[in-house]
A and B are shown apart, each in its own frame.
Chain A
Amino acid sequence: MLNDFLTALTHEMVRFLAAHPDFFEGKEDAREKALQNVRMPAPFKHYLAHRKSEDFMEDMRLVVSYVNSAKLAKLEGNAFFKAVVEFFTGAFAAKLDKLNSDFYGFKEKDQWTVVQELIKSDSHVAGTLRELLIRRTYQELSAGLVTLTQRVVGAAYVVVQTPREVDSELKKEIRHDLVKENPLSFPVFQINKKLIGGIRIFKDGDVNDQSWVNRVQQFISLSSV
C-alpha cells in the first residue's frame, strides 16, 4: 500500500543527498538548516537531521526489503519507519479526517478536486499521497496504517465509534487527544448507527461506552433488578 509513497520519499531523500554530498558530515543544526527548503514532511526532515549516514543506509536497505516483501521486513523500532508512522498518524491522518464519507461516493474527477485542495504540494511525495486517498478506501487505509503502527512501535489499536459522521474539527480534537494518550497510534473512526447517540471508544480490547444505546440498556437492566 505504501510502496509508491516510500519509493517517492526515498527518491526525494536520495536526490537531496546527491545535491548535498557532505550532508551527514555536518552538525544537526546545520543539517536542519539545509533541509529547511526541501519539500518533505517534517518527520522525515527531523529524521534526516538526526540520523547517521551508516544508519541511514541500513534504513534504506530495510525500505527496499519492505517494498519487496512488506510482511517479512523487521520494522520494530526502526527510526525511518517511526518517522513514517509519525507522519501518517499526524499530518496525513489530519488530512484524511477532513474527508467525509460522501467523498468515497464522488466521481473520480470530483475526488481529485477535493484531494488537490487538501494536498496542495506538487511534489512527487504529495502525488503518491493523493493517489493513496483516491485509490484506497478509508477502511483499507486505516487497516494498513494500524498494522504499520503496531509493527513499528506496538501502538494501541484505537477505534472510535459514533452514530453519525463526526465533523472534521471534532475528529481532529478526538484524534489529537487519543494520540496524545496513545502515542503513534492511528485511531480509526467508524460509524455505528446502533449507538443512536454518544460515542464508544475501544482501546486494545477495553471499551469506554458513552453511547445512548448503552445508557438505555443500563437503564433497562437497572429497572429490572
Chain B
Amino acid sequence: MDKLSSLGIDLGSILFYLVNTGVLLVVLTYFLYKPLLKIIDDRRKHIADSIEESNRLRSEFEKTLDQAKQDREASEEQLREELARLKKYTEEERAKLTADMDEARSNMLQKAQEEIDAAKAGLLKDAEKDVMALMSKIILDIVQNKVPEKVIQESIKDAWKQYNK
C-alpha cells in the first residue's frame, strides 16, 4: 500500500475516480448515448421509409408510365385505324363523286347529243315534209289532169270490186 503511496497512487482517489467515471458513464449513457441512439434509429428509419416511399413512388410512376405508354399506343392505334377509315371513306367518297360526276357528264353529253339529234331530225323532217308536200302537189296535179276518163271509170269499178271483197 505504502509502495503505492510512494508511487503517488492513492487507492481512495482511484476509487473516487472510478466512481466518478462510473457516474459519468451512467449519466452519459442515460442522457446522451440513448437519445443519440434513438435519434440515429429514427433517422435510419426515416431514411428507410423515404427509400421505401421513393421505391413505391418509382414503382407507381413506372406503372403510370407504362399505362400512359399503353394508352398512348392504344390511342395511336385507334388514331391509325381512324385515319385508315377516314382515308377509305375519303377514297370511297371520291370514287362516288367521280362516278356521279362521270354519270352527270355522260348524261349531259347524251342530252346534248339527243337535242342535237332531235334538232337535226326536226330539220330533216321539215325538209322531208316540204319535199313530200311538193311531191304530193305534183303527183295530184298530174293525176288530176292527165288521167283519161276511161281509166277513171275503170278505177271506180275496180274500187267497187275491192270494196265488195
Q: Which residue of A lies closest to B136 (CB)?
A: A220
Decide if A41 is an interface residue (CB 8 Å cutoff). no
Chain A residues, Cβ within 8 Å of B147: 196-197
A199 with B136: in contact, given A164-B153, A177-B164 (CB under 8 Å)?
no
Main secondary structure of the interface of B (DSSP, over half): helix
Q: Is A110 an interface residue (CB 8 A)?
A: no
Taking CB atoms and an 8 Å cut-off, the chain B residues in 131-146 that contact chain A are 132, 135-136, 139-140, 143-144
What mask results when residues 148 to 165 of chain B are scored 1 for a CB within 8 Å of chain A, else 0? Answer: 010111011111101110
A94 to B108, CA, bound (A): 72
Which of the residues B135, B140, B156 comes within 8 Å of A163, measured between beta carbons?
B156
Q: Which of A178-225 contact B (CB under 8 A)?
A: 193, 196-199, 201, 208, 210-213, 216-217, 220, 223-224
Chain A interface main SS type: mixed
* Contact in complex: A210, B163 (CB < 8 Å): yes
> CB of A19 within 8 A of chain B?
no
Q: Which of A116-124, A128-136, A166-174 contacts B (4 or more CB under 8 A)?
A: A166-174
Q: Is B76 engaged at the interface, CB distance under 8 Å to the other chain?
A: no
Q: Enumerate chain A residues within 8 angstroms of B117, measured Cβ to Cβ.
A: none
Contacts of A162 in B (CB 8 A): 156
Instruction: Count CB-based A-B contacts (< 8 Å).
Output: 63
* B-contacting residues, A4-28, CB 8 Å: none
Q: Does B34 contact A (CB under 8 A)?
A: no
The answer to the question of B102 belonging to the interface, with a C-beta cut-off of 8 Å to chain A, is no
Evaluate contact between A224 and B132: CB separation under 8 angstroms.
Answer: yes
A196 near B144 with CB under 8 A, answer yes
B128 CB-CB contact with A under 8 Å: yes
From known contacts A163-B152, A164-B152, A224-B128, infer whether A199 and B135 are also in contact, taking CB-CB under 8 Å: no
- Cα of A210 to Cα of B160 in the assembled complex, Å: 8
Q: Provide the residues of chain A in CB contact with B164, threshold 8 Å.
A: 177
**In the complex, what residue of chain A is closest to B131 when comparing beta carbons?**
A224
Which residues of the partner chain A approach B157 to less than 8 Å between Cβ atoms? 170
Q: Which of B129, B139, B152, B158 contacts A216 (CB 8 A)?
A: B139
Could you name 27 residue pairs across A and B whose Cβ atoms are closer than 8 Å? A162-B156, A163-B152, A163-B156, A164-B149, A164-B152, A164-B156, A166-B156, A170-B157, A177-B164, A193-B144, A196-B140, A196-B147, A196-B152, A197-B147, A197-B151, A197-B155, A198-B155, A198-B156, A199-B159, A208-B163, A210-B163, A211-B159, A216-B136, A220-B132, A220-B135, A223-B132, A224-B128
Residue positions of A touching B, CB distance < 8 A: 162-164, 166-167, 170, 173-174, 177, 193, 196-199, 201, 208, 210-213, 216-217, 220, 223-224
Task: Give 8 new A-B contacts, CB below 8 A, not counting A199-B163, A211-B159.
Answer: A162-B156, A163-B152, A164-B149, A197-B143, A197-B152, A199-B160, A220-B135, A223-B132
